[in-house]
Amino acid sequence: MTAFSQKTSKSKSTKHAIRMSTPVAKLPGVGPKRANAFIQRLDIHTASDLLRHLPMRYEYEAAEDQIVNIPQDGIGTARGQVAELRWVPGRFGKKGRFEVSLQDESDSLLLTWFNAQYLSRRIQIGDYLRVQGKTKSFGNYTQIVNPKWEKLEDPDLAPARDDKLRPIYPATEQLASSHIEHIIETILPQVLPHITDPLPADLLKHHEMPPLVEALKMVHQPDDLDQTMIARRRLAYNELLLLQLGIAMKKTYVRDRLQAPELTINEETDKQIRDCYPFTLTDDQNTVVKEIAHDLAKPSPMNRLLQGDVGSGKTAVALYALLAAYTSGKQGVLLAPTELLAEQHYLSISNMLQDTNVSIALLTGSGTTKAEKQKRKIIHDEIQSGDIDIVIGTHAVLSDEFEFKDLAVVIIDEQHRFGVMQRAFLKAKNKGTVPHHLVMTATPIPRTLSLTVFGDLDVSTIRGLPPGRSPIINRVVDMNKTDDVYRYLNERLSRGEQAYVVLPAIENNGLEEDPKKQLRNVLDHAKLIQNKYCPDFKVGLVHGRLKSEEREAVMKQFRDGSIHVLVATTVIEVGVDVPNATVMIIEHAERFGLAQLHQLRGRVGRGTHGIKSLCVFIAEPTTEDGSKRMKAIASSNDGFKISELDLEIRGMGDFFGTRQAGATPLRVAQIPQDMDLLMLAKRDAETIIEGDMLLKNEDNALLRSVLLKTHGSTLGLIDVG
């Protein structure tokens, strides 16, 4: 039995004072397992991250009291120790019940849960519980039926003596909301006195927003719901203003302080470039080419985002910029996130330029043999001497082993995978001048995100598709229809068509099943497709664990038609172009994000032979969001619409997920819900930067410090100074 006395809260002693920068592993009540769960599951690394992990809702909780004093026939809250428990089986068709006798120094309380035998594995004699629910008299006992309950790890924690709003936090299996609440409750008094508000007081007064310390207190320990809304608005504005300040500073600095080579394109060079294409550019492509040519002619560096749906012809536009560098006697580089995509770009661009004098090199990170290292060194030497005009590669180009002789244009494909840190690094590699930058994405960016994650970039858009492309037919089917899907696939294969079968990627994130087991599953599934579903056709397999030369050998066979079905993980998400592939089957489609499904689907429908392409999503969604994704992907082939739906379903925090290196820093602000706050922050940031571009004024010193700490790397502000 626990003494139910008036003890004050005893937070566990800590060796170090708690500050906003304190690692989550060093917070009181956080052991190694919880620290790992915070980091891996909730992306919480520091006390600052934790304090910006806001409640998703609040629940009314009656004041705690001794059992003898809780009201009869009302809502009561009490704590005590489990003295007895039992499972009472149901009889004559009635439900069984689990009963617990909870005791404190004053009395006992009978807790009853119907049809909940599983609780006998979670509640043990000697456990300390806090319970809440509607009370009623039951013989000599006070009883609560189906109470809310939580196990108390620290039974001496002072009880709440007043009614209160209790925060309910986004939680995980390893981290209950009550655990998160207790940790925040413990660290708040230690952290708050050491927080200095980075925002100017007059700005807060103008917007009628509370100071940062007050907002944090109100959002985690509110007196009423009005306080939570006021606090959340202030914290969201804080994030958005910092982000918009970084964007405004970067954009102004690039425009006013950096020098780039001026690449003037006249009619003669324009014709020379266009003659390299085996096709005529579309109207959208021509519009974007004009925007790019206009930027390249300026003495300040181009900083442009090119977005277009899958198959819209972005690479052709990128090639124009690379050739503009070549015709000016300078060099260009095209960076891809994967070796497979880099190889694809190299093959297609080499084919287009085979009758020209343009020298192209492929540079990737793979290849560890002596001969491969020697070959890479030769390429490095030729880049440094200027003998190579266009370099196509992966992150290997970012190494410190060499420098370009005269780099003028940098193209970064699939910007959301590459990350802004690498983009900033490339800018630092060129001496004297800064190269022009064009970043491309086949994941169209919703307008709200173009103001945030890519706000430092000008945006060009290709909306149309090249002529002759047929729309893709989409079908979502249940898992139990798998055999029917593969029977139909055989019909398509017998007509000479080819197909992709996509499986979830092999991951090694320490959370899911062993990657080796996942690999076995992929290999076994490929064998199943070959032996059971497609015995008369050749099935190939590519996945992220294959060496690049092995993967390319399989891809070459698929491209030349000797492999009929390519079983793949998401390594074929972008860049793979096989016009004869007209069918895609995506298994366990519920495991993929909406934008990723659209990217995968873009591998088919690339031919101009008039055959209708088909994408089948075999899925078994277990969540509402999963069902929404399946409905959305089946309803539209428009990547721009898909992108908006994806943002709507997942919210900005998850929109980029693990694909964004230096992902969105917004924990509190919700996009697009906080669009009004975003625009307010944008206006304020532009006004501040207009008056003090580098935030060097004394009044802005703290704001500058927080900005560089928050966005210095991800927005490339370190080189701003």
Look at residues 195, 212, 236 and tell me which one is the last residue of a structural domain.
195
Residue with tokens 């993967």: 551
Of 114, 109, 122, nearest in space to 98 by CA: 114
DSSP SS3 for 472: strand
Q: How many angstroms separate the CA atoms of 281 and 290, rounded? A: 12
Same domain, 78 and 11: no
Band of pLDDT at residue 415, cut at 50, 70 and 90: low
Distances from the Cα of 370 to the Cαs of 364, 375, 383, 397, in angstroms? 15, 9, 20, 19
The type of residue at 151 is K
Is 333 inside any structural domain?
yes
Is 666 inside any structural domain?
no
Query: Does the structure show a pLDDT above 90 at 662?
Result: no
Q: Specify the pLDDT at position 10.
A: 42
Is 615 inside any structural domain?
yes
End-to-end CA distance of the chain: give it in Å, rounded.
63
Query: Does the structure show a pLDDT above 90 at 343?
Result: no
Same domain, 296 and 439: yes
Residue 68 token pair: 């003898």
Q: Tell me the residue range of the domain where 481 lies.
A: 472-636
Same domain, 447 and 340: yes
Same domain, 10 and 129: no
Q: Specify the pLDDT at position 308.
A: 87
Average confidence (pLDDT) over 624-653: 84
For residue 497, what is the domain's CATH number? 3.40.50.300
β partners of residue 79:
130
Average confidence (pLDDT) over 378-398: 89
Average confidence (pLDDT) over 508-535: 72
Classify residue 634 by burial, with Cβ atoms within 10 Å: 0-12, 13-18, 19+: middle
Same domain, 508 and 420: no
Q: How many angstroms separate the CA atoms of 573 and 228, rounded? A: 42
> What is the number of structural domains in the chain?
4
Is 663 inside any structural domain?
no
Same domain, 173 and 272: no
Is 649 inside any structural domain?
no
**352 touches 319 (CB < 8 A):** yes
| DSSP string for 564-576 | SEEEE-GGGSSS-
Average confidence (pLDDT) over 497-520: 66
For residue range 9-42, list pLDDT tens digits in order: 444 444 568 999 999 999 998 999 999 999 999 9
Query: Does the structure show a pLDDT above 80 at 101?
Result: yes
Q: How many angstroms separate the CA atoms of 511 and 514, rounded? A: 9
Q: How many angstroms separate the CA atoms of 260 and 295, rounded? A: 10
Question: pTM for the whole thing?
Answer: 0.69
Same domain, 144 and 179: no
Query: Does the structure show a pLDDT above 70 at 565?
Result: yes
Average confidence (pLDDT) over 145-158: 83
The phi-psi region of residue 155 (left if phi > 0; otherwise alpha if psi is between -120 and 50; otherwise beta) is alpha
Same domain, 101 and 43: no
32-36, 157-161, 396-400, 514-518: range with highest mean pLDDT: 32-36
Provide the 8-state DSSP code for 589.
G
Averaged pLDDT of the chain:
85
Same domain, 476 and 435: no
Is 467 inside any structural domain?
no
Lowest mean pLDDT among 211-225, 325-339, 416-430, 478-492: 416-430
Average confidence (pLDDT) over 154-179: 82
Band of pLDDT at residue 47, cut at 50, 70 and 90: very high
Q: Specify the pLDDT at position 454.
A: 72
Is 204 inside any structural domain?
no
Q: Which residue has the higher pLDDT, 710 or 236?
A: 236
Provide the 8-state DSSP code for 532.
I
Q: Which residue has the higher pLDDT, 553 or 424?
A: 553
For residue range 502-513, list pLDDT tens digits in order: 998 654 444 344
Look at residues 443, 462, 481 and tell me which one is the last residue of a structural domain.
462
Is 712 inside any structural domain?
no
Same domain, 477 and 366: no
Classify residue 362 by burial, with Cβ atoms within 10 Å: 0-12, 13-18, 19+: middle
For residue 95, what is the domain's CATH number? 2.40.50.140
Look at residues 414, 437, 462 and tell me which one is the last residue of a structural domain.
462
Query: Does the structure show a pLDDT above 70 at 603?
Result: yes
Query: Does the structure show a pLDDT above 60 at 202?
Result: yes
Q: Which residue has the higher pLDDT, 646 or 538?
A: 538
Q: Specify the pLDDT at position 51.
A: 96
Q: Specify the pLDDT at position 72.
A: 85
Q: Specify the pLDDT at position 139.
A: 75
19-33, 518-532, 590-604: range with highest mean pLDDT: 19-33
Query: Does the structure show a pLDDT above 90 at 671?
Result: no
Q: Which residue has the higher pLDDT, 138 or 280?
A: 280
Q: Specify the pLDDT at position 255.
A: 84
Query: Does the structure show a pLDDT above 50 at 588?
Result: yes
DSSP SS3 for 665: coil
Of 75, 77, 183, 192, nearest in space to 134 by CA: 75
Same domain, 305 and 323: yes
Same domain, 479 and 575: yes
